């Protein structure tokens, strides 16, 4: 039985993805805008999700927009931005009740899509500029978000690792933009940029739920037709070879050191080795049974936490750990030892089988939730690949020891970043 029934239609300047399923009692509509990361526009793009939630032409305040959502049986709206590989993604989500399960004859889905149309294509403006009060207020909100990353030392260390590791690559751009750019953003130039985004971004729309009897393509096309202007799509620089490991130490007023390592995998979603990379990372640092957790944290008691994750569309793998400032050298050595052990095949066939099952179960659990399912499916768009979840699960189940060793051969340590206490010495 097919895990996901996804029908794709390309029309009217967007790609429509219709997922028929009786798994959910609600219907979810997810709209994704994609554009290459760009230093000149990243701060404007980061601000847009905040502005769009503050009012529309017919619901000119955040309060009246919330009331409109409440009238739709408590529809839930969220808008955010993310960085995937070297693309910036703005996601608009709306979850609404399915009228099939209500006694009402109201066309809830159609009304919800109309509201989505208004939020995206008719935000509060005078036709030339956004509302000045909204822009000034939401600039402060974004400023607080940027500051919160500096205050969250784990997030800060991860950001600084990428700053140093990807200096000459678009991936180093901060997803929430830059404080120094906010002063130059105003209601007019943000509105002008947003209008260009509406016609230049790649647009994918997902609608999922029990949609039997509904003419979804007609409903979406009526509300989302647009004239498309082709933008210049930047090309990724591709694989980066590591010539020398970069070591960075930064001192702040912190009690716990943050030791983060960045590796180049040069493996991306859709590559032949991608599913083996998922299993490799699981054994290395992706689960509580992993080498990092069992050795760095449990056996040697060197870390408050130690784990790894990989970036599916950039070919990077990150290790993050919290350690005592005096344990830098020892912790770094043991982390690198665990990667060497992976390269040398120091794992059992039982570990491989257990981890394959955990990776598959994790994927299935993600797809149990509408938003998770959309994110899994959107990988295909980002990678320009057609790769169903069924095929992915099948390939994960067939990953072999040799496949893992081939992954290990490709992984290179690029950068070591250590955030330590003032007066702390990375050579201790």
Please count the other Cβ atoms lying within 10 Å of the Cβ belonging to residue 310.
22
Give whole-number Cα distances, 129 to 115, 157, 179, 206, in Å.
21, 37, 22, 29
Please count the other Cβ atoms lying within 10 Å of the Cβ belonging to residue 383.
18
List beta partners, residue 91: 32, 80
Structure tokens given for 402: 């040799």
Q: Which of 223, 299, 312, 234 is nearest to 266 (CA)?
A: 312
Q: Which of 124, 94, 145 is nearest to 190 (CA)?
A: 124
The whole-angstrom separation of Cα 247 and Cα 256 is 19
Q: Are 355 and 399 contacting, i.e. CB atoms less than 8 angstroms apart?
A: no
State residue 237's pLDDT score: 58
Q: Which of 407, 409, 387, 404 is nearest to 270 (CA)?
A: 387
Q: Are 100 and 210 contacting, i.e. CB atoms less than 8 angstroms apart?
A: yes
What Rg value do the Cα atoms of the chain yield, rounded?
A: 23
The whole-angstrom separation of Cα 274 and Cα 270 is 6
Q: Catalogue all structural domains in the chain, each as residue range(s) with its CATH number.
A: 6-224 (3.30.830.10), 246-421 (3.30.830.10)
Burial of 103 (0-12, 13-18, 19+ CB in 10 A): exposed
Written as tens digits, the pLDDT of the chain (428 aa) is 678 999 999 988 999 999 999 999 999 999 999 999 999 999 999 999 999 999 999 999 999 999 999 999 999 999 999 999 999 999 999 999 999 888 888 899 999 999 999 999 999 999 999 999 999 999 999 999 999 999 999 999 999 999 999 999 999 999 999 999 999 999 999 999 999 999 999 999 999 999 999 999 999 999 998 888 876 565 565 788 899 999 999 999 999 999 999 999 999 999 999 999 999 999 999 999 999 999 998 899 999 999 999 999 999 999 999 999 999 999 999 999 999 999 999 999 999 999 999 999 999 999 999 999 999 999 999 999 988 899 999 999 999 999 999 999 999 999 999 999 997 655 54
CA dihedral 110, 116, 122, 125 (to 10 degrees): 140
Q: Which of 354, 358, 388 is nearest to 373 (CA)?
A: 388
| Strands across the sheet containing 246-252 | 246-252, 412-421, 257-264, 316-323, 303-311
Beta strand segments in 312-411, E: 316-323
Q: For the chain, what's the residue count?
A: 428
State residue 423's pLDDT score: 79
Q: What pTM does this model have? A: 0.96
Q: Are 41 and 196 contacting, i.e. CB atoms less than 8 angstroms apart?
A: no
Structure tokens given for 286: 């992706």
Which residue do the tokens 């997902």 mark?
A: 206
Please count the other Cβ atoms lying within 10 Å of the Cβ belonging to residue 361.
10
Structure tokens given for 317: 């793998």
């Amino acid at each position: 039985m097919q895990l996901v029934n996804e029908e794709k239609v390309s029309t009217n300047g967007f790609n429509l993805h219709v997922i028929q399923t009786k798994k959910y009692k609600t219907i979810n509509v997810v709209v994704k805008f994609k554009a290459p990361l760009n230093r000149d526009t990243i701060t404007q793009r980061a601000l847009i999700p905040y502005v769009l939630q503050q009012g529309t032409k017919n619901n000119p305040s955040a309060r009246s927009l919330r009331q409109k959502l409440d009238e739709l049986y408590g529809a839930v709206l969220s808008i955010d931005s993310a960085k995937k590989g070297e693309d910036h993604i703005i996601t608009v989500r709306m979850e609404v009740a399915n009228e099939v399960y209500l006694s009402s004859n109201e066309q809830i889905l159609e009304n919800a899509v109309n509201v989505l149309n208004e939020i995206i294509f008719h935000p509060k403006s005078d036709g030339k500029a956004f509302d000045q009060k909204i822009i000034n207020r939401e600039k402060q909100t974004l400023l607080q978000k940027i500051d919160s990353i500096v205050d969250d030392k784990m997030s800060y260390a991860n950001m600084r690792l990428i700053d140093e590791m990807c200096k000459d690559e678009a991936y180093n751009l901060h997803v929430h933009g830059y404080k120094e750019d906010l002063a130059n953003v105003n209601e007019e130039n943000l509105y002008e940029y947003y209008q260009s985004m509406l016609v230049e971004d790649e647009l994918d729309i997902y609608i999922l739920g029990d949609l039997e009897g509904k003419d979804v393509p007609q409903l979406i096309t009526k509300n989302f037709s647009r004239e498309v202007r082709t933008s210049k799509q930047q090309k990724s620089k591709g694989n980066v070879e590591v010539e020398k490991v970069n070591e960075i130490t930064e001192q702040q007023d912190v009690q716990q050191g943050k030791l983060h390592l960045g590796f180049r995998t040069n493996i991306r979603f859709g590559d032949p080795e991608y599913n083996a990379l998922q299993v490799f990372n699981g054994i290395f640092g992706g689960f509580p049974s992993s080498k990092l957790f069992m050795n760095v944290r449990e056996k040697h008691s060197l870390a408050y936490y130690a784990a790894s994750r990989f970036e599916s569309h950039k070919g990077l793998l990150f290790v993050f750990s919290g350690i005592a400032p005096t344990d830098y050298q020892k912790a770094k050595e043991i982390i690198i030892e665990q990667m060497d052990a992976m390269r040398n095949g120091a794992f059992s066939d039982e570990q491989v089988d257990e981890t394959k099952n955990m990776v598959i179960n994790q994927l299935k659990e993600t797809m149990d939730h509408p938003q998770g399912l959309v994110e899994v499916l959107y990988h295909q768009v980002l990678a320009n690949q057609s790769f169903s979840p069924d095929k992915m699960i099948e390939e994960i189940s067939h990953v072999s020891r040799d496949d893992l060793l081939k992954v290990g051969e490709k992984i290179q340590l690029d950068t070591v970043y250590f955030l330590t206490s003032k007066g702390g010495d990375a050579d201790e």
